């Protein structure tokens, strides 16, 4: 009986469910925190975007998340700001200061799109004190050719503070954002 139980537990640990996979990259408390934040507000209640900056930049750390069914609907590699790099360290630093070239943590409202130097991009309005200067700093969601589609051990290229996706991943996100009747919230955390 013990060996049967051990085998069962071993198989479960080797074959995690989708919910278990989600908690590895998206902690439940961050999802719950965002759900509580958007509740009773005029934001999309079904979808959100998360960026987990704790994850290596060459790995998937950008997630479009279905809040109703608790599942990831898109994952991608996303860059961080060049100023966020701490020399000789795996850690990152964050800032809300213009000219820092650092990424900022917190919740953003993904606003209207526009056509700029990187093609289509979405304005980001910071909703927290840690990212309240996002509009002033021109922190936007956009694509850039140096961001890869596939995970690797290599670090992703760096931005000036904007979250940048690959062209392919950005097109997938565009479909989601443009179909939404209400603003979607992006939550970056570390």
**CA 2 to chain CA mean position, Å:** 42
From residue 127, how far is each of 18, 96, 133 by CA, in Å? 30, 12, 9
pLDDT digits (tens, 9 = 90+) for 156-185: 999 999 999 999 999 999 999 999 999 999
pLDDT digits (tens, 9 = 90+) for 56-104: 999 999 999 999 999 999 999 999 999 999 999 989 999 999 999 999 9
Region at 185 (left for phi over 0; alpha for psi -120 to 50; beta for the rest): beta
The predicted model scores a pTM of 0.88
Q: How far is the C-alpha of 166 from the C-alpha of 78, rounded, in Å?
A: 8
pLDDT digits (tens, 9 = 90+) for 115-152: 999 999 999 999 999 999 999 999 999 999 999 999 99
Q: In the predicted model, what is the mean pLDDT of the chain?
A: 90
């Amino acid at each position: 009986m013990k060996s049967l139980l051990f085998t069962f537990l071993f198989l479960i640990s080797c074959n995690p469910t989708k919910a278990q996979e989600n908690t590895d990259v998206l902690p439940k408390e961050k999802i719950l925190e965002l759900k509580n934040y958007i509740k009773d507000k005029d934001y999309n209640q079904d979808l959100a975007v998360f960026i987990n900056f704790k994850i290596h930049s060459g790995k998937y750390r950008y997630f479009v998340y279905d809040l109703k069914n608790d599942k990831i609907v898109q994952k991608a590699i996303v860059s961080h700001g060049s100023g966020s790099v701490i020399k000789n360290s795996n850690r990152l630093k964050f800032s809300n200061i213009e000219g820092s070239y650092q990424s900022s943590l917190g919740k953003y409202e993904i606003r209207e799109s526009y056509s700029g130097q990187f093609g289509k991009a979405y304005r980001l309005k910071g909703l927290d004190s840690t990212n309240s200067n996002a509009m002033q700093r021109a922190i936007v969601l956009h694509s850039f050719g140096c961001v890869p589609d596939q995970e690797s051990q290599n670090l992703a290229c760096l931005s000036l503070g904007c979250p940048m996706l690959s062209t392919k991943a950005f097109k997938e996100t565009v479909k989601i954002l443009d179909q939404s009747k209400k603003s979607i919230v992006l939550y970056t955390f570390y």
